[in-house]
Structure 1
């Protein structure tokens, strides 16, 4: 009798790795004992925790079987649901030898232990993640939610940087390359907003900066970041300084900051990056300490990276209030400055008012052709007003005419603004007997103004897209 054919384990693992759905991978381990032993490590490669029950079960599993902790490559708590642990469940957890053991190695004093216990009982994702991070020595990616203040997570990260207990046996996070930090206001303590100007943002900055000190870090995403102001000024890398200042250099090459406020151009972050390749920033005036979007501050910061920066997004759909903590908000329409010396820049996404110095006149003082780098491939211009469309078309046509000699890599132009036809309701027309659907087409004036540019792009083999902010419609 012939034995049934069995696929080798290596082949089965390759098949299992093609399953993107975590539930499908989970089901594999229940097929047979062989599949359980074979695919269990695959299930633990990517771990998503949404609740304190998930977190406690996970900690128990990797404590009992350390080999599982070593296969975890990605930890994701970005969809965490905050919920205080019912007293009956918390009484059971406090008797758990595993939880007691984790607290013993993570806490340095009785007062600190009491703080850990309080935050764990509140179901805070940042505290539960801080408890498990010392066990995950082979992490590549980390996606965390945090609240303000985030005391326990901050504490663990500082101890990781300093190689202190519970990280004294081996350097921490030697393989971690990608981190996303999601601040969620619904997770904050009620007093956090009241004390927003009294240390909470400094704690937030300390958490973010701790990841900049890890050796393998390459990519950082964070939201609601307020410009760090509590670290020492970094010397200008373009000039020789007589006084030597010791500055930790970061291996991070990608920074993506959403709904943030950079009063100093995020200089404290950018200055640490020796080889920054991508910087994306979305401004928000919703932070109490915001002084408004200040393009010139970012220009000063990013000048350090002008030989390495390949992708730059500035203020993508940012929020600008008429007034900020500094008073009347007039800074967001400032000219960023010439990008001609950014010799590696391939992709640029920027507001028209920051790309060209047109704040007090209809024509720019410095023409666009003198402000763009020769390396540019994709240009995306946001916030174009209808009154500036003719000027912008003229400036871009000059760029295209000089494309072969000055911009040989340029292949795509994008213009975005409020270009759609207004609906009857928006115009205040109430005479219609029945509501009319909104007209989501581009205004004929805009299409007509863009037509010469469209012809030039077609002749040069370039893509041209004209979008409306609401509907992202392209003219035909």
Structure 2
């Protein structure tokens, strides 16, 4: 008795995710029928280290159908330095170099780098064999001229992508960075993704805007305003000295933007503080669509620039006021530091605008981050006024305070759980008791949350 294919696939789908691939491999080895049935499942989700790239390229080159099965590709342990020459088939190297290049001179550079097991070159040629990939997750660090070149050509359907749909089905791009202390990712490496037709989500770490952002004359190295289909951008531990205006303004309908700042731009060289007003100017281009804004509620703040000065605008100052959000008529969630939400001025005076004048009526969820006891009177009076005008904010359902200080809670048996080991200082809890009561009366949930840099009280 034979089980139908649907049943076999169902069995494979319910294997524990931690051991899914080894079992798919074993299932594919049972017989020819099972090989044809489970091989697409095996190759649909690939996670490899950079050292395994040449072997994967050889496999998909010898059997191109395997490459068409790949939907999600994860690459770790990137190494862009040339290593010792590998023992590769010269014919394969010549074929790959010729297929990827636009000139004989370029082909020689490809061949040399491939022979020296350069991660950049091997991953770049692999892009020619994954036409149906929807998710790309690469832990990148270092130079990536070959990949950047291929991304540009894919974006404009140039050789070798004039006959194959390279990256045309890509929807999600993640660029983590496990070496956050020293590695960085120049903005020019990301621009081509904004030209691809189906990308909706872009997540990056240690992305920077500075002189290392060197570009060639390819049109895919310049973002076009209001054309990208990207709807969600998440930048963590990044330094956008120019407010990432190029990325934001290129989106046609950006719905979600999250940015967590790192003062460090280039390790040991330049440190640039957070400039919220530059992000405000960029995000104004998305006021017609933005629904979620999480702006440095957990990143670095309050510092003087060190090192080389950037070409900043005269009215741009570190840790300044962000700007009014009244025109963001679709904004549902806002997470922002109190210092950036209110217009304190550069002398830390009383804010000139109230929450009622700053926030849009569409808001549902508000997080006031990095609260300090010195800000209590401003927050208390503004929240009271906001809640007294509940009819102007009909969708508001939750308000949270994110303290800059926290008390540690030690659960039973001295075990510390990450999600439950902090609470707001008793002074803050007592101070906002009346606000909590008023919130309950008008149907708004009130609470505390923790994130970013917290000073833990003993």
TM-score (norm 2): 0.82
Matched, 1:301 2:282: yes
Q: Using the TM superposition, give the Cα deviation of residue 398 of structure 1 relative to its aligned residue in structure 2, in angstroms.
A: 2.2
User: How do 1:59-138 and structure 2 match up within 5 A?
Assistant: 59-77=57-75, 79-80=76-77, 82=79, 87=84, 90-93=85-88, 95=89, 97-109=91-103, 111-117=105-111, 119-120=113-114, 123-138=117-132
Match of 2:7 in 1: 11
Question: What are the ranges of 5 or more consecutive residues in structure 2 without an aligned counterpart?
Answer: 216-222, 311-315, 410-415
Match of 2:340 in 1: 354
Paired residues of 2:93 and 2:115 also in contact (CA < 8 A): no
Q: Using the TM superposition, give the Cα deviation of residue 85 of structure 1 relative to its aligned residue in structure 2, in angstroms.
A: 8.3
The aligned length equals: 424
From the superposition, tell whether residues 164 and 323 of structure 1 become closer, same or farther in structure 2 (CA, over 3 Å): closer
Deviation string 1:435-471 (CA, Å, 9 cap, x unpaired) is: xx9x955322111112112212223333222245579
Paired residues of 1:76 and 1:144 also in contact (CA < 8 A): yes
* Pick aligned residue for 1:158 from 134, 137, 152: 152
Match of 2:234 in 1: 256
User: How do 1:207-222 and structure 2 match up within 5 A?
Assistant: 207-222=189-204
* Pick aligned residue for 1:377 from 364, 372, 391: 364
User: How do 1:325-336 and structure 2 match up within 5 A?
Assistant: 325-326=308-309, 331-336=317-322
Q: Distance in 1 between matches of 2:172 and 2:282?
A: 23
Match of 2:219 in 1: none
Q: Using the TM superposition, give the Cα deviation of residue 118 of structure 1 relative to its aligned residue in structure 2, in angstroms.
A: 5.1
Q: Distance in 1 between matches of 2:196 and 2:80?
A: 31
From the superposition, tell whether residues 104 and 184 of structure 1 become closer, same or farther in structure 2 (CA, over 3 Å): farther
Q: Distance in 1 between matches of 2:359 and 2:350?
A: 17
Q: Using the TM superposition, give the Cα deviation of residue 122 of structure 1 relative to its aligned residue in structure 2, in angstroms.
A: 5.8
Partner SS for 1:332:
coil
From the superposition, tell whether residues 373 and 27 of structure 1 become closer, same or farther in structure 2 (CA, over 3 Å): farther
Query: Which segment drifts farther, 153-162 or 459-468?
Result: 459-468
Q: Using the TM superposition, give the Cα deviation of residue 114 of structure 1 relative to its aligned residue in structure 2, in angstroms.
A: 4.7
Q: Distance in 2 between matches of 1:111 and 1:186?
A: 35
Deviation string 1:382-419 (CA, Å, 9 cap, x unpaired) is: 1111211342133123222322x111211221211223
Partner SS for 1:92:
coil
Q: Using the TM superposition, give the Cα deviation of residue 115 of structure 1 relative to its aligned residue in structure 2, in angstroms.
A: 3.6
Match of 1:178 in 2: 172
Q: Distance in 2 between matches of 1:440 and 1:221?
A: 28
From the superposition, tell whether residues 213 and 25 of structure 1 become closer, same or farther in structure 2 (CA, over 3 Å): same
Match of 1:464 in 2: 446
From the superposition, tell whether residues 36 and 171 of structure 1 become closer, same or farther in structure 2 (CA, over 3 Å): closer
Q: Distance in 1 between matches of 2:107 and 2:376?
A: 62
From the superposition, tell whether residues 406 and 262 of structure 1 become closer, same or farther in structure 2 (CA, over 3 Å): same
Paired residues of 1:308 and 1:344 also in contact (CA < 8 A): yes
From the superposition, tell whether residues 363 and 260 of structure 1 become closer, same or farther in structure 2 (CA, over 3 Å): same
Q: Distance in 1 between matches of 2:180 and 2:408?
A: 36
Q: Distance in 2 between matches of 1:422 and 1:179?
A: 36
Partner SS for 1:381:
strand
From the superposition, tell whether residues 147 and 397 of structure 1 become closer, same or farther in structure 2 (CA, over 3 Å): same
Query: Which segment drifts farther, 39-48 or 385-394?
Result: 385-394
From the superposition, tell whether residues 414 and 28 of structure 1 become closer, same or farther in structure 2 (CA, over 3 Å): farther
From the superposition, tell whether residues 452 and 246 of structure 1 become closer, same or farther in structure 2 (CA, over 3 Å): closer
Which consecutive aligned stretches of 4+ in structure 1 deviate over 6 angstroms post-superposition?
A: 83-86, 228-231, 470-473
Partner SS for 1:414:
strand
Q: Distance in 1 between matches of 2:81 and 2:199?
A: 33
From the superposition, tell whether residues 163 and 414 of structure 1 become closer, same or farther in structure 2 (CA, over 3 Å): same
Partner SS for 1:98:
helix
Q: Using the TM superposition, give the Cα deviation of residue 264 of structure 1 relative to its aligned residue in structure 2, in angstroms.
A: 2.5
Paired residues of 1:125 and 1:146 also in contact (CA < 8 A): no
Paired residues of 2:271 and 2:305 also in contact (CA < 8 A): no
Q: Using the TM superposition, give the Cα deviation of residue 123 of structure 1 relative to its aligned residue in structure 2, in angstroms.
A: 4.8
Q: Using the TM superposition, give the Cα deviation of residue 186 of structure 1 relative to its aligned residue in structure 2, in angstroms.
A: 8.5
Q: Distance in 1 between matches of 2:177 and 2:453?
A: 29
Structure with higher Rg: it is 1
Deviation string 1:18-37 (CA, Å, 9 cap, x unpaired) is: 44333333332234443222
* Pick aligned residue for 1:271 from 208, 231, 249: 249
Matched, 1:39 2:65: no
Q: Distance in 2 between matches of 1:339 and 1:246?
A: 25
From the superposition, tell whether residues 356 and 160 of structure 1 become closer, same or farther in structure 2 (CA, over 3 Å): same
Q: Distance in 2 between matches of 1:127 and 1:312?
A: 37
Q: Using the TM superposition, give the Cα deviation of residue 149 of structure 1 relative to its aligned residue in structure 2, in angstroms.
A: 2.5
TM-score (norm 1): 0.79
